[in-house]
Amino acid sequence: MKLGVGQYALAIAAFGLYAMAEAAPAKADTASEIRALKARLSKLEADEAQAKREAKAAAQHVASAHAAPAGSPPPPQHWYERLSLRGYTQMRYNDILNGGPFYNDISTVGDKSVGPRQNFFLRRARMILSGDVSEHLYLYFQNDFASSPSGTFSNSPGAAVYSNFAQQSVYYYYNPGVLFPYPGYNQVGNYSSAPGNFGQIRDLYADIYFDKDKEFRVRAGQSKIPYSFENLQSSQNRLALDRADAVNSCCKDERDIGLFFYYTPKHLRPIFRDLVKNNLKGSGDYGMFAFGVYNGQGANRIELNKGTHLVARFTYPYVFENGQIVEGSVAGYTGRFVPYTTGIRPSLGGGTNWAGFIPLNIPYSGIGSGFTPYVAGSGWNNLGNYQLAQYGATNGWGPVVANGAGVQDSRVVVNGVIYPQPFGLRAEWNWGVGPQLNATQTAIEVKRLTGGYVEATYKYEDKEFGTGTYFPFVKWQYYNGGSKFDNNAPMMRINEWEAGIEYQPLPELEFTVNYSKMDRTNTQAAPYRQFQANLVRMQLQWNY
């Protein structure tokens, strides 16, 4: 402890008093000397207090001399004082409990770690730079350093002839040579050395505010499309490890480049903020009302037509007197999407367990694997009721594209949320039309789609022992429609249950265990076979 002047004086006086008491005769009167020492100590303390007052007054005088005039703006901040840096990382591990005869078909759109021969996997590694550059400009820049390119496994088609009265044949990408329905596990294909974990932009936008309350703003750049609550909800906050394909199939990576207008009344801004801040699994502030125009081909993808997509959304969170919050929303978008195509061998049964059958008595039975499906959209040369056998059935046939404007792509979604206090319930459903490979896998056409999900959860905070926060949950999802962002926009059928628990021992640490009972289509490789599997996944997330 640091001693003041008064304390030093008191110590010296006490020592001197002790010395005099030892040296002086016993009969000496020390009372007068003690009174004198106390008087000196009081004077020293008074002098010290006066010195402190004078130093404080001098400092205030210097500060007022250098202070800015009344009403003037505060001094400018450095850039690092206006922006903040944060992020999070997700590491996963999966174990396929069983996959039936189609083990090698097990694959999902949202998680590349799902599949045979997989172990640990970095799903996301995000760094976020954000902040108010000024009163009217906000910057948000998010990069993901765990992005992986496609094509890390190459599949080569093979065919096994099944001789029966129907004269049918069937081919498999992974396991040819064994008759249906027991195709075996022989692998055809090869591994490539394509690396992963590249840095890629997720968000890069500026919010431009038009008023001091920041109720009106325009978001310019690459950002999330205001369609679907679960798409807007950050993966940092979501319980289920992947978004439901029924709503996520609308927008690849949930983002695109465009201009989005948001209106959030002043009294709602704290509600949207606190639903995330208070660990209630909110989606963030994407406006009570939103309207936008964007490319439509997806994030980090080149635009392929001159048309744009339009989107609009309305949502409202209602707070009851007991503090419970419910939210309802409706959104829709429309535009024309240009599908991505690649050579395949047309067959029957896409989206079923018997996909890959090729009846020998129809014109395209002799077509090889180099056939590119025809896109039946505006701007493509329309061949009408063409005979495929006349267009290179043996060597394959490629369609002639003439400034394709794309295929009609329109949806509407409704959503309802009861936030977990402690019980939570969330549901979404969407309907629409979009590009989809037809039943004979020869053309991509406009087809109807429908699907959604229901998720229930419970929030338990262990306040007695302080072990953390627990979120047990169960989720069901369904989808029947095209997977427009995959090559050839194959049909996707999903009927899936999953259950799990998210455990937060600390705010910066989360651990999730997730079980999935899967019944879905492998949209990554033709013949786009349906598979059933039971899967356990684990994820460790750390926030910083």
* pLDDT tens readout for residues 479-500: 999 999 999 999 999 999 999 9
Q: Is 74 exposed, middle or buried (0-12, 13-18, 19+ CB in 10 A)?
A: exposed
Model confidence at 357, in pLDDT bands (50, 70, 90)?
confident
Indicate whether 175 pLDDT > 50. no
For the entire predicted model, the pTM comes to: 0.80
How would you label 497-530 residue by residue, b for 16+ Cβ within 10 Å and e otherwise?
Answer: ebbbbbebeeeeebebebebebbbbbbbbbbbbb
3-state DSSP: the chain helix, strand, coil percent, rounded to 5?
A: 15, 45, 40
Question: Rounded to whole angstroms, how far apart are CA atoms 481 and 492?
Answer: 5
β pairing state of 423-437 and 401-418 = antiparallel
Question: Rounded to whole angstroms, how far apart are CA atoms 174 and 187?
Answer: 5
Say which residue the tokens 């044949």 belong to: 169
Give the lowest-confidence range in 72-76, 433-437, 451-455. Answer: 72-76
What value does the mean pLDDT of the chain take?
82
- Torsional class of 44: left (φ above 0), alpha (ψ -120 to 50), beta (otherwise): alpha
Indicate whether 82 pLDDT > 90. no
Summarize pLDDT for 114-147 with one digit per residue, the tens. Answer: 887 788 999 999 999 999 998 999 999 999 999 8
Secondary structure of 372-406 as H, E, C letters: CCEECCEEECCCCCCCHHHCCCCCCCCCCEEEEEE
Amino acid symbol at 337: F
pLDDT at 123: 94
Q: Is 242 exposed, middle or buried (0-12, 13-18, 19+ CB in 10 A)?
A: buried
Name the β-bridge partners of 348: 357
pLDDT at 1: 46
Contact 94, 241 (CB under 8 A): no
Cis check: omega of the bond before 435, within 30 degrees of 0: no
Indicate whether 159 pLDDT > 50. no
The neighbour count for residue 103, using CB atoms within 10 Å, is: 18
Q: What is the DSSP letter of 36?
A: H
Give the lowest-confidence range in 22-31, 237-246, 341-350, 383-392. Answer: 383-392
Indicate whether 270 pLDDT > 50. yes
Summarize pLDDT for 278-297 with one digit per residue, the tens. Answer: 999 999 999 999 999 999 99
Arithmetic mean of pLDDT, 536-542: 97
Say how far residue 266 (Cα) sits from the centre of its chain. Answer: 26
* C-alpha distances in Å from residue 352, one per residue of 105, 491, 492, 494, 531: 12, 10, 10, 11, 8
Model confidence at 310, in pLDDT bands (50, 70, 90)?
very high
Longest dimension (CA), the chain: 136
Indicate whether 371 pLDDT > 90. no
Amino acid symbol at 428: E
CATH number (3.30.1360.120, 2.40.160.10, 3.40.50.1000, 3.40.30.10) of 88-543 reads 2.40.160.10
Q: What is the DSSP letter of 235?
A: T
Cis check: omega of the bond before 422, within 30 degrees of 0: yes
Model confidence at 363, in pLDDT bands (50, 70, 90)?
low
pLDDT at 364: 64
Arithmetic mean of pLDDT, 49-68: 68
Summarize pLDDT for 501-535 with one digit per residue, the tens. Answer: 999 999 999 999 999 999 999 998 888 999 999 99
Contact 312, 291 (CB under 8 A): yes
Question: Rounded to whole angstroms, how far apart are CA atoms 179 and 165?
Answer: 15
pLDDT at 62: 57
